[in-house]
Structure 1
């Protein structure tokens, strides 16, 4: 059965309230509608077997606190019996919204992240795969979608963990080989998206609600609160007082500077992933050597049309082992660019393909995002104090939220990044309000 067949089958699932009495969700924190009957109905429609019966169902959160802030991920193992008597196991990941948390739901609403991600998986990624097949490139870049449920803002995927894919250690970061592997796949995604947008007359340009955008400032409490917490921490270090003052002075203009990164500029533009970091990559490691042999990019809630710099600066300044974060970015950008430009040429991209030098100049105009990611995002993603690590702590301004943001800068790894990079960013003018 094809993916489109499965999507159609999933859409045909009756609403649970018309089929079964009210029952408890499969585990305590699951959405109220995510019940055994819901999963059973989905499987019956997928396998076209109305006698299919679940005999055992194990559901649990796929990630812990501090591992994910963009939705609820549930890992399921279903044991079921088919109508012909055969027994079968299925392994799934279900991604859902924060529908039970009104604050989270209302904060995210202007970003439209769940509808966007569903449309990306259903409509865009299959087209990008088709473009790669045009040039005989069969490398898998994305997880295949099993089902899309627009009514409940839910996606169902095969659980790639069963095939040996796991999430890398966010606290350790990626080594050079794995970073190159992810950038190779990112380059192909970017190149095919540029070609698709060219062939379909701007179809991707409607994706304009990235982390920073011209429609909403709802995430300002997170970004501004983190910068204020960083300023407080840095002010305690002798010799760094000037950087603390500059960070605090950025607060009134910070959101505007971020929006300029996401504004479409002259040059090659692409569909950026928008949140490409360690926890949005699944990796298969060689069982003998322990080295990465494959990687899959997941989670497209913040996909946005714009500069490749959005993903490059975010990934390179959030997800690498510290030495590569600080010293090997130019090498990795060159690696990305070689694959990016080569894929554009193979697909007969009609617009101008920049030289490597000109590509660096295009990236330079978006350098604020490198500073933002290193100083702001890195502290969140490498945070080790996870008791209060949730979406509300990021987005609210109460004392609990302030305490959480301050705790993010207790991490010695984060402090080292700030100590080493603040002088660099200052010399580049990226701490100035008039940049």
Structure 2
């Protein structure tokens, strides 16, 4: 890939990321004090648009010990060195601590529970090193070497989405059991991506509602929705905070789970059989936004950041019902003793947290379509107002907006605003 296909801060690794550092990491992991690196190279580990809160490198390492010569490919995730918006926004956030807790504590326990019911699902890639001091860093085995890849040039297939939903449903189900039986186990997982300093006041949250209302004004069949969104605009951020804090500050009957928090198509990789081409597995990634919130948070996000146009407009209920069926099946198998979720309760929860979906439609979907269907630059979409506004002129966004608003109206989203 050309250099402009990568994030600029991933073209050159920081000075500390060198042969001595990798030697120390692998020596400890392999329990081989005599380990020597014979060849080492670094390249960017992701393309533009794959992620935003960190930088990632791929280290290809040839090394030898008294047992012989070996090769490993490692994925190294850390924070940017240079000053800038990304570093300023994410350096003091809890995201790395959250992700380390997920890989070191939560996900191994979740897999242990699955193995007790003879479920062999793999929920995470092996983490071989992590640290918060003197720098924030996590090192993983390279999924590309295991046959996995990120889907970039197309939207996901129905099979891929169902596989991703199956993994998510199992994670949610086990968290419901643990919250019911051992609520303190997840007490530190209370900081999702909405706790990133400055995020609630950033263009990511604030820049979408005004051009969306302008869109409603200029499309005759959408003008009836303008008064609703003018009212929504007045207090939608307060409602978002309420949703994200509800479990800890104002608990209500509902379906609270350990959410992924950033559940989109670039935060997962897929594996197909090299010989037959048959689908084999989906692996979820980037657990840095995990926190205990209503399950609707992950599911609403997935509608706009995981599904493509075809699924959003024609298969949304079918796909979410599939997720729900796996959730129920898993809860039964792991002997969940709490009140079992119901289909009626599930859709009522989606309606109750509709303010999050209002944000996603008005602000996240136009950016997602601009990025994925029209290949706009991520940095421009994040920081340039003129580029963002172009997204609201896109015909495919306008047509999807018509479909989604009709669904909102049918589901009663505009009642009692």
Name the TM tier (shorter chain): 0.7 to 0.9
Within 2, Cα distance between the matches of 1:100 and 1:301?
A: 21
Q: Kindly indicate whether residue 17 of structure 2 is the aligned counterpart of residue 34 of structure 1.
A: yes
Structure 1 residue 102, shift from structure 2 partner? 4.8
Q: Kindly indicate whether residue 76 of structure 2 is the aligned counterpart of residue 88 of structure 1.
A: no
What root-mean-square deviation, in Å, do the aligned CA atoms of Structure 1 and Structure 2 show? 2.8
Q: Contact 1:65–1:386 at 8 Å: present in 2 too?
A: no
Structure 1 residue 87, shift from structure 2 partner? 2.4
Equivalent position to 1:107, from 89, 99, 121: 89
1:58-97 equivalence runs, <5 A: 58-80=41-63, 82-84=64-66, 86-97=68-79
1:49-104 alpha-carbon deviations (Å, 9 max, x no partner):
33322222221112222221121121121122x13383221111111123433543
Within 1, Cα distance between the matches of 2:291 and 2:67?
A: 47
Within 2, Cα distance between the matches of 1:63 and 1:185?
A: 23
Q: Contact 2:54–2:78 at 8 Å: present in 1 too?
A: yes
Structure 1 residue 353, shift from structure 2 partner? 0.7
Q: TM-score under structure 1 normalisation?
A: 0.82
Within 2, Cα distance between the matches of 1:337 and 1:238?
A: 37
Cα gap change, 1:231 to 1:37, in 2 (>3 Å) = farther
- After TM superposition, the structure 1 stretch with the greater mean CA deviation from structure 2, 29-38 or 405-414, is 405-414
Structure 1 residue 278, shift from structure 2 partner? 0.3
Cα gap change, 1:126 to 1:272, in 2 (>3 Å) = same
Structure 1 residue 302, shift from structure 2 partner? 1.0
Structure 1 residue 113, shift from structure 2 partner? 0.9
Q: Contact 2:95–2:193 at 8 Å: present in 1 too?
A: no
Within 2, Cα distance between the matches of 1:424 and 1:415?
A: 14
Within 1, Cα distance between the matches of 2:275 and 2:398?
A: 35
Structure 1 residue 144, shift from structure 2 partner? 1.9
Q: TM-score under structure 2 normalisation?
A: 0.86
Within 2, Cα distance between the matches of 1:427 and 1:110?
A: 42
Classify the secondary structure of the residue corresponding to 1:38.
helix
Structure 1 residue 288, shift from structure 2 partner? 5.2
Q: Contact 1:318–1:374 at 8 Å: present in 2 too?
A: no
Q: Contact 1:229–1:405 at 8 Å: present in 2 too?
A: no
Structure 1 residue 326, shift from structure 2 partner? 1.4
Structure 1 residue 247, shift from structure 2 partner? 4.3
Within 1, Cα distance between the matches of 2:275 and 2:213?
A: 45
Q: Kindly indicate whether residue 378 of structure 2 is the aligned counterpart of residue 389 of structure 1.
A: yes
Equivalent position to 1:414, from 383, 397, 412: 397
Within 2, Cα distance between the matches of 1:85 and 1:288?
A: 32
- In structure 2, runs of 5+ residues without a counterpart are 1-8
1:396-423 alpha-carbon deviations (Å, 9 max, x no partner):
xxxx532342244455443432243234
**What residue in structure 2 maps to residue 164 of structure 1?**
147
Within 1, Cα distance between the matches of 2:317 and 2:234?
A: 31
Q: Contact 1:143–1:296 at 8 Å: present in 2 too?
A: yes
Classify the secondary structure of the residue corresponding to 1:202.
helix
Q: Kindly indicate whether residue 100 of structure 2 is the aligned counterpart of residue 118 of structure 1.
A: yes
**What residue in structure 1 maps to residue 5 of structure 2?**
none
Q: Which structure has greater helix proportion?
A: 2
- In structure 1, runs of 5+ residues without a counterpart are 1-25, 395-399
Q: Kindly indicate whether residue 241 of structure 2 is the aligned counterpart of residue 259 of structure 1.
A: yes
- After TM superposition, the structure 1 stretch with the greater mean CA deviation from structure 2, 136-145 or 359-368, is 359-368
